[in-house]
């Protein structure tokens, strides 16, 4: 029986008057005795939805969304508040899994705080589309770094080289009119230590996040962090250039860490406290290194060194926009008021930053270093 025929059968038998609701007794009989072509996780969730309903009705639209591999917020609340506990074994007890499915299970326990969500992700996971965004960004960053390293014959403190700062990818306040630089600076890095730190965090945290939440949401979060980073520097550190993907990296990391803290009891990743402390120490050390290079450069330079404000603004984006994205697994963001508040706030900041870059430099008389 195909899906459309099944939907028609359910509506004709259980909701002939098109009220939008199905009596619990009739639906329970269909679930338990009819040939519903559902995987075990969906069948468990349907039964939980039935048992948790207090009004004696099941919403037909919620049923359609579930069987179409969609999950509404009302369905998730029904599961969370239901009187029925799902009776299947937890995901860690699954045996006979191949290498890829074991990796998927590992990702589920690393990212998701709820056993129901973890089982849902495990059974729904597909390789298409693959998590390519973070991987592609990291590969391009490595290639760009290798090219400039070979050209300059220098692998650390590349920003002290005039030819490096002449790159069309670097954000420089003297080139604010070249809009692409507000994004392209993420492909340039101060040296091997910054590239290694960013690439490691991107792959360790970004790839699992992209596998669970999808390429659109994670790429949006990463690029929002990158854009916020360069715009914040143009407002708060007006004479400084920017290089490195730290804005996007800190958006991902801060969102994930905040999600772990807010769902501490539900997270089942091993050694989570130790890993949390280690991540915070590493991120703080990277910010400290950036502050040191900005204000106390170890060697003489021809102009201001790259700003550290992109790190902080990326973290703010992660804690605000990113946390909401990670807490809305398989839920529509467009239906949440808080999402539109965050979008409105980001657009307001974007418009303010545009007007600031157009008018403030002249009004304040800022002496911008001559671009290389």
Domains in the chain with CATH codes: 3-69 (1.10.238), 132-327 (1.20.1540.10)
What are 282-317's pLDDT values in tens digits?
999 999 989 988 888 777 666 778 899 999 999 999
Catalytic residue among 72, 167, 311, 320: 311
DSSP string, 285-317: HHHHHHHHHHHS-SS--SSPPPPSHHHHHHHHH
Question: Of the given ranges (26-40, 159-173, 262-276), which has the lowest mean pLDDT?
Answer: 26-40
Residue 275: name the closest of 195, 204, 212 by CA.
204
The pLDDT, as a whole number, for residue 144 is 94
pLDDT tier, 318 (very low <50, low <70, confident <90, very high otherwise): very high
Ranges of beta strands (E only) in the chain are 21-23, 57-59
The pLDDT, as a whole number, for residue 235 is 96
Burial class of residue 195 in the structure, from the number of CB atoms within 10 Å of its CB (0-12 exposed, 13-18 middle, 19+ buried): buried
209-225 mean pLDDT: 95
The pLDDT, as a whole number, for residue 68 is 58
Q: Please, are residues 181 and 230 in contact by the beta-carbon 8 Å criterion?
A: yes
Please confirm, yes or no, whether 73 is among the known catalytic residues: no
Catalytic residue among 167, 230, 234, 246: 246
What are 46-76's pLDDT values in tens digits?
666 666 555 666 666 666 666 555 554 444 5
pLDDT at residue 151 above 60? yes
Please confirm, yes or no, whether 213 is among the known catalytic residues: no
Locate 164 and state its tokens: 């490096």
Q: How much is the pTM? A: 0.79
Q: Please, are residues 186 and 202 in contact by the beta-carbon 8 Å criterion?
A: no
Q: Please, are residues 63 and 10 in contact by the beta-carbon 8 Å criterion?
A: yes
Longest C-alpha distance within the chain, in Å?
81
Cα dihedral 340, 345, 350, 351, rounded to 10, equals: 100
- In percent, the amount of the chain with pLDDT more than 90 equals 45
345-358 mean pLDDT: 96
pLDDT at residue 21 above 80? no
Query: In Å, how far from its chain's centre is CA 349?
Result: 20
pLDDT tier, 340 (very low <50, low <70, confident <90, very high otherwise): very high
Burial class of residue 168 in the structure, from the number of CB atoms within 10 Å of its CB (0-12 exposed, 13-18 middle, 19+ buried): exposed
pLDDT at residue 163 above 80? yes
Residue scoring higher pLDDT (195 or 329)? 195
pLDDT at residue 132 above 90? yes
């Amino acid at each position: 029986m195909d899906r459309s025929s099944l939907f028609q059968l359910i509506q004709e038998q259980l909701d002939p008057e098109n009220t939008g609701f199905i009596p619990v007794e009739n639906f329970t009989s269909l679930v338990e005795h009819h040939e519903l072509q559902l995987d075990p996780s969906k069948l468990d969730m349907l039964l939980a939805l039935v048992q948790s309903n207090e009004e004696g009705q099941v919403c037909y639209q919620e049923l359609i969304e579930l069987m179409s591999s969609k999950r509404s917020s009302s369905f998730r609340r029904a599961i969370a508040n239901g009187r029925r506990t799902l009776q299947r074994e937890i995901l860690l007890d699954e045996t006979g899994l191949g290498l890829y499915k074991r990796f998927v299970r590992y990702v589920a326990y690393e990212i998701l705080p709820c056993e129901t969500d973890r089982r849902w992700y495990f059974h729904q996971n597909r390789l298409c589309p693959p998590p390519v965004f973070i991987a592609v960004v990291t590969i391009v960053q490595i290639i760009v770094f290798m090219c400039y390293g070979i050209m300059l014959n220098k692998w650390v403190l590349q920003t002290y080289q005039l030819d490096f700062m002449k790159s069309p990818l670097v954000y420089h306040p003297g080139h604010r009119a070249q809009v692409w630089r507000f994004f392209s600076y993420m492909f340039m890095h101060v040296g091997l230590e910054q590239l290694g730190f960013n690439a490691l965090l991107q792959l360790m945290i970004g790839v699992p996040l992209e596998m669970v939440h999808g390429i659109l949401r994670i790429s949006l979060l990463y690029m929002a962090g990158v854009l916020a980073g360069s715009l914040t520097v143009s407002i708060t550190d007006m004479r400084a250039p920017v290089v490195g993907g730290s804005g996007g990296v800190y958006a991902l990391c801060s969102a994930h860490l905040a999600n772990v803290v807010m769902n501490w009891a539900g997270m089942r990743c091993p050694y989570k406290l130790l890993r949390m402390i280690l991540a915070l120490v590493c991120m703080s050390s990277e910010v400290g290194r950036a502050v040191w290079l900005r204000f106390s450069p170890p060697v003489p330079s021809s102009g201001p060194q790259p700003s550290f404000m992109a790190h902080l603004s990326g973290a703010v984006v992660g804690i605000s926009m990113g946390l909401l994205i990670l807490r809305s697994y398989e839920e529509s963001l467009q239906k949440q008021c808080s999402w539109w508040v965050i979008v409105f706030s980001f657009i307001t900041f974007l418009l303010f930053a545009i007007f600031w870059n157009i008018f403030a430099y002249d009004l304040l008389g800022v002496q911008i270093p001559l671009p290389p």
